[in-house]
Structures are given as structure tokens and as C-alpha cells.
């Protein structure tokens, strides 16, 4: 439906046509809002995935491919969990500070007016009203929540529902950039015409009620009000995901300028979404030395401004949602909404005292990793990840292997190893004795000589 110019030229010349669409995991923002390039494309030789009037490559893949490889099914299962845990969707600039309504509601999904996927499913205003009426009739005692499309929230396009549709006290519009997984987890039932949120509802364990004919309808995973007889196979949600997210799309790594796997794209999307969530309110930065500020601007401030000052009293008055960042332990614990920043564990080739900028930073909203007197975000993350998914465990092993093989350390200073004596050897690393990690993390032994004496005492 959107490829009429190419179709016309194809008809005139006899040339084959390849239709291109954005993948189901695209970018932080819609193209109309930020012009972000997609992380993946759908290339189809037969049609487009949202047009049920004729078969397309995705439909044929879901109908004909075995989809039974155990390793691929396991990868699909892990990827689903990864997407849910990272709160990813087609557009993943979702704000985790927004909560879903109290659980138990019926979710009715709005879509963009005159969108190609709506037209392909013969969607009109009356059909959206019928969908809302069905939700009201089928669930007379539950609240109805109408979920607004992200592009409508950003003011880019109009939808089909508005305040005029809230004809009963139990009907409400939800117009916040909340995580779709958050709002799906609290829903008792999901109604949609053809939104991708219906696909995500299936992945979340729902059996959505579908009034159109999107790619995920007709495979035994939804209640379909429109039936396509050519879709007569029953799939699991993992098989549906394998076809739609792993086999059908072409994924792209913009940092390496190459095609890649879904798992690699998920790593990119996780990093981009985390960066936006941390960054988009802007920052107030205090106690940051002048030479470090250029480095800070390369790490932070892509989506919100950084205001630097030397002390809290110099800070401009801003909203409480804007975090304050401070270097290491230079800020009193009593200050609220503080993000403490330190060098990463793989820092640079050279020392900070020589003004060599870091290649990595650690930010901590609870404390700082070297201060055992209070919890830190690192401590919490370690506790929360005692049981790793298979893909997480493999990634950890890969990173450890690369660090060891590359002989990478925090400062990567070159130098020859001295001749070491034969036999049993004990390594005693020295430290800067007034370093914050010594001041905060030690008790009786606080100097290099004291440490060496204690080692000699224990190993005479």
C-alpha cells in the first residue's frame, strides 16, 4: 500500500520489486520526531507484513518454516526475556519513572490515524469504537485504559481516541511514555486493531483480542475477529518471535557499519535506551574539575543540558527530577538525588593525574563502589544477578576472555616484568595511601608498609 511508485515502475518495466519497512525494534524515537535511522529493516519480495490482502515473506515464513531448531528457540526465549527486562519496543525512549495504572484494567490500544497498517486492516473510526464497545461489554466491572500511541504523545500525529471517548467514569486515556511491558503486565485483557503492542502482548503471555489482520494474528495465539483461512498453523510465542524478530529482519550495527544479529542489536538498544533514560532530564554537575568537564560532556548531555558549578549553593534552581552528579565521594551523603561518578575499571592508557581522559565512567545513584559503609548500585546489581541467563553468562565469559587475551588493565601502562624468584610467590599490590578507596574501605591496615608487614607475618 505504501509502495505505489515502485509498483508502478515495476509494472512498466517488468523489474522485480522489493518492499522495505522498518523492523519491529527500530530506534529511540520515530523517524518523524528525531530522524533516527533504523537498527533494522524488513525486506519483502511478496508484499508488506501489515497487508493481509496477499501473502508476504513473513507470513510464508511463519506458515512454512519448521521453526523447530532447539538452539534458535532457546535464543528466542532468551531474547524475549532480554527485551522485556530492558523495556524495549519499536521505539524505546520509554520513561521508567511513569507507572502503569493499578493492575486489573482492560487495555485498549489506540493507533495513528490513517496509518498504513490501520488502512491495510480496514481500520476506521467506527471500528475503533466497536473495539471499545466490545471491551466495555465483555468486561462490565473492569476499568478501561486507552493506551495512546507514542507518536501522538510526542505531538507528531493524531490517533483515533480522545477525551470524547471517555463516556464512562471507568474509561481513561493513558498518555505517558511508559514502558509497554509495564502497562501490559498490569492488564487483564488487551484489545487492538493491528498495533505492535498486540505482538508484545502475546510475548507477555496475553491472548489479545484482535480486530484487524496484523502479522501475529491467525497463529493460535490470539482471539481474532477477522479470520484469514490461509493462516492455519498453530505456533508458540517463541516460534512467532523467531520468525518475526530473528529470521525475517536484517539487523544493522551502526558502530561497525555491518549487518549483525538480533542479540547485537539488543545490546545497542539497551545502551541507547539506558543513556536516554539517565540523560534526558539534563544534569547539574558539582565538584567536577575543569579539565574533566570536556570528558563529561562526551559521556553525558546528549539528550539534556549539563550545568556545572563548584558547590551546591551555586546550582541553579531546577526541577527535582533533574539529577545532580558529583565526582566520587566529594558530596555529602545527606544530599538527595545525587549521582556519584568515578573512573571505570578499564579506564585509559595513562594516569588521570597526567590529565589522560577516561574511556569509561561509573555512575552510581546509591553510593560508590569503594565505600562499604553504605550500599552502592554495583553491590545491588551483583546481588540482583546471581542467576544469569545463558546469553548473559556467555557475554561475561567473552569479555573476560578478551580482557585476559588483550592484557587490558585499568591504566594499561607498559613496562617489562621484573625477574621473579622461583618457588611460591605472593603478590602485594601497592596503592596510593590517601586514595578514597583506602580511606573508606580499610580499618587497621591503611598503609603499604602495614600491608607488607601483615603479609610477612602471615607467611613467614
Q: What is the largest CA-CA distance in the chain?
A: 91
Tell me the pLDDT tens digit for each residue of 52-62.
Answer: 999 999 999 99
Give pLDDT, residue 157. Answer: 86
Give pLDDT, residue 319. Answer: 56
Angle 439-444-448 from CA coordinates, rounded to 5°: 70
Distance CA(453)–CA(460), nearest Å, equals 10
CB 209 within 8 A of CB 136: no
**Got the DSSP string for 417-444?**
PPP--SS---------TTSHHHHHH-SS
* CA proximity to 2, closest of 26, 25, 19, 22: 19
**Per-residue pLDDT at 334 exceeds 60:** no
Mean pLDDT, range 157-178, rounded to an integer = 94
For the chain, domains (ranges, CATH) are 62-253 (3.40.50), 281-383 (no CATH), 424-460 (no CATH)
Distance CA(384)–CA(253), nearest Å, equals 29
CB 93 within 8 A of CB 180: no
* CA proximity to 32, closest of 110, 115, 96: 115
Residue 35 CB partners (closer than 8 Å, separation 6+) = none
Tell me the pLDDT tens digit for each residue of 306-333.
Answer: 999 876 555 555 556 788 999 987 766 5
**Per-residue pLDDT at 215 exceeds 90:** yes
Q: What does R_g of the chain's alpha carbons equal in angstroms?
A: 27
Give pLDDT, residue 320. Answer: 65
**Got the DSSP string for 272-289?**
HHHHHHHHTT-EEEES--
* CA proximity to 165, closest of 191, 137, 144, 138: 144
Mean pLDDT, range 295-307, rounded to an integer = 92
The DSSP bridge partners found for residue 190 are 107
% of the chain at pLDDT higher than 90 = 81
pLDDT band at 36 (very low <50, low <70, confident <90, very high): confident
Please give the backbone phi and psi of residue 61, each rounded to the nearest 5 degrees, phi first: -65, -45
Give pLDDT, residue 316. Answer: 55
C-alpha cell at position 105: 484494567
Give pLDDT, residue 335. Answer: 63
Mean pLDDT, range 150-165, rounded to an integer = 88
CB 125 within 8 A of CB 137: no
* CA proximity to 318, closest of 354, 282, 293: 282
Mean pLDDT, range 110-127, rounded to an integer = 93
**Per-residue pLDDT at 76 exceeds 60:** yes
Distance CA(183)–CA(368), nearest Å, equals 33
* CA proximity to 284, closest of 312, 261, 253: 312
How high does pLDDT run on average in the chain? 93
**Per-residue pLDDT at 240 exceeds 90:** yes
Give pLDDT, residue 150. Answer: 84
Tell me the pLDDT tens digit for each residue of 352-395.
Answer: 999 999 999 999 999 999 999 999 999 999 999 999 988 899 99
Give pLDDT, residue 393. Answer: 93
Please give the backbone phi and psi of residue 105, each rounded to the nearest 5 degrees, phi first: -85, 165
pLDDT band at 34 (very low <50, low <70, confident <90, very high): confident
Tally of CA atoms within 13 A in the half-sphere of 339 that contains its CB: 17
Rounded to the nearest 10 degrees, the angle between the axes of helix 262-279 and helix 70-85 is 0
C-alpha cell at position 50: 501489515
Tally of CA atoms within 13 A in the half-sphere of 376 that contains its CB: 18
Mean pLDDT, range 68-72, rounded to an integer = 97
What sign has the CA pseudo-torsion 235, 236, 242, 244? positive
* CA proximity to 90, closest of 173, 209, 187, 199: 199
CB 217 within 8 A of CB 201: no
CB 242 within 8 A of CB 280: no
Distance CA(447)–CA(445), nearest Å, equals 6
Q: Tell me how crowded residue 16 is: count the other CB atoms within 10 A of its CB.
A: 7
Distance CA(105)–CA(172), nearest Å, equals 10
Distance CA(251)–CA(245), nearest Å, equals 9
Q: How far is CA 274 from the centre of its chain?
A: 6
CB 139 within 8 A of CB 149: no
C-alpha cell at position 185: 503486565
Give pLDDT, residue 417. Answer: 82
**Per-residue pLDDT at 1 exceeds 90:** no
CB 222 within 8 A of CB 216: yes
Q: Tell me how crowded residue 23 is: count the other CB atoms within 10 A of its CB.
A: 23
Amino acid at each position: 500500500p505504501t509502495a505505489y511508485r515502485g509498483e508502478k515502475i515495476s509494472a512498466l518495466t517488468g523489474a522485480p520489486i522489493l518492499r522495505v519497512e522498518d523492523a519491529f525494534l527500530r530506534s529511540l524515537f520515530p523517524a518523524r520526531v528525531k530522524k533516527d535511522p533504523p537498527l533494522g529493516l524488513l525486506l519483502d519480495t511478496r508484499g508488506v507484513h501489515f497487508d493481509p490482502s496477499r501473502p508476504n515473506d513473513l507470513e510464508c515464513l511463519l506458515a512454512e518454516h519448521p521453526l523447530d531448531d532447539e538452539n534458535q528457540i532457546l535464543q528466542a526465549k532468551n531474547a524475549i526475556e532480554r527485551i522485556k527486562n530492558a523495556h524495549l519496543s519499536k521505539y524505546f525512549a520509554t520513561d521508567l519513572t511513569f507507572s502503569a495504572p493499578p493492575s486489573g484494567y482492560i487495555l485498549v490500544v489506540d493507533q495513528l490515524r490513517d496509518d498504513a497498517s490501520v488502512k491495510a486492516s480496514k481500520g476506521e473510526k467506527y471500528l475503533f469504537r466497536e473495539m471499545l464497545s466490545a471491551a466495555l461489554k465483555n468486561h462490565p466491572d473492569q476499568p478501561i485504559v486507552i493506551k495512546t500511541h507514542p507518536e501522538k504523545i510526542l505531538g507528531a500525529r493524531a490517533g483515533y481516541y480522545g477525551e470524547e471517548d471517555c463516556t464512562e467514569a471507568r474509561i481513561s486515556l493513558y498518555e505517558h511514555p511508559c514502558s509497554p511491558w509495564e502497562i501490559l503486565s498490569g492488564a487483564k485483557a488487551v484489545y487492538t486493531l493491528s498495533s505492535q503492542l498486540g505482538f508484545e502482548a502475546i510475548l507477555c503471555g496475553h491472548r489479545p483480542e484482535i480486530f484487524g489482520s496484523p502479522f501475529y494474528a491467525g497463529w493460535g495465539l490470539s482471539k481474532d475477529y477477522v479470520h484469514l483461512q490461509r493462516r492455519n498453523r498453530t505456533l508458540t510465542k517463541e516460534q512467532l518471535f523467531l520468525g518475526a524478530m530473528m529470521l525475517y529482519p536484517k539487523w544493522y550495527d551502526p558502530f561497525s557499519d555491518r549487518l549483525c544479529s538480533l542479540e547485537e542489536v539488543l545490546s545497542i538498544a539497551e545502551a541507547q535506551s539506558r543513556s536516554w533514560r539517565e540523560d534526558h532530564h539534563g544534569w547539574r554537575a558539582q565538584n567536577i574539575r575543569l579539565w574533566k568537564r570536556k570528558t563529561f560532556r562526551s559521556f553525558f548531555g546528549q539528550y539534556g543540558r549539563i550545568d556545572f558549578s563548584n558547590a551546591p549553593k551555586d546550582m541553579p534552581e531546577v526541577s527535582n527530577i533533574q539529577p545532580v552528579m558529583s565526582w566520587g565521594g566529594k558530596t555529602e551523603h545527606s544530599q538527595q538525588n545525587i549521582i556519584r561518578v568515578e573512573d571505570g575499571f578499564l579506564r585509559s592508557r595513562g594516569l588521570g593525574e597526567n590529565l589522560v581522559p577516561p574511556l569509561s565512567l561509573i555512575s552510581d545513584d546509591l553510593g560508590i563502589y569503594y565505600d562499604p559503609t553504605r550500599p552502592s548500585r554495583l553491590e545491588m546489581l551483583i546481588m540482583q544477578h546471581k542467576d544469569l541467563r545463558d546469553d548473559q553468562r556467555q557475554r561475561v565469559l567473552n569479555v573476560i576472555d578478551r580482557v585476559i587475551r588483550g592484557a587490558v588493565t585499568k591504566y594499561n601502562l607498559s613496562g617489562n616484568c621484573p625477574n621473579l624468584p622461583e618457588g611460591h610467590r605472593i603478590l602485594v599490590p601497592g596503592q596510593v595511601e590517601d586514595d578514597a578507596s583506602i580511606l573508606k574501605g580499610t580499618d587497621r591496615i591503611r598503609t603499604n608498609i602495614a600491608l607488607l608487614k601483615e603479609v610477612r607475618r602471615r607467611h613467614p
